[in-house]
């Protein structure tokens, strides 16, 4: 907590083989980390998935559960609010996210 704002950094399970574990993390585990009452919050970290095909190049590792969490808690993707953002934060030989 910093000046009435929750600062939360998460690391979701990585890898395609951990998809079910990651979805369970978004469904169950992360809800224990987030404040129960509406408050100012900055949620950051490595989600190891995307919520839209436009968030990556190559094969998208989409998470409907993460999208549901974002919508359900009325969170706003700061990166997404930028009109033109042609850069990514993670690059591999097969694409970028």
Domain that holds residue 22: 5-81
Instruction: Look up residue 24 and give its two tokens.
Output: 């369970």
Domain assignment present for 93: no
Residue 55: pLDDT band with limits 50, 70, 90:
confident
Residue 26: pLDDT band with limits 50, 70, 90:
very high
What percent of the chain lies above the pLDDT cut of 90? Answer: 31
Domain assignment present for 45: yes
Domain assignment present for 94: no
Domain assignment present for 96: no
Total number of domains in the chain? 1
- pTM here? 0.81
Domain assignment present for 74: yes
Domain assignment present for 88: no
């Amino acid at each position: 907590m910093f000046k009435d704002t929750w600062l939360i950094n998460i690391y979701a399970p990585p890898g395609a083989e951990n998809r079910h574990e990651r979805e369970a993390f978004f469904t169950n585990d992360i809800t224990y980390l987030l404040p129960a009452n509406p408050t100012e919050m900055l949620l950051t970290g490595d989600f190891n998935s995307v919520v839209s095909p436009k968030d990556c190049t190559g094969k998208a590792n989409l998470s409907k559960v993460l999208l549901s969490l974002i919508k359900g808690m009325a969170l706003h993707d700061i990166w997404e609010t930028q009109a033109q953002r042609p850069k990514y934060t993670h690059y591999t030989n097969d694409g970028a996210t």
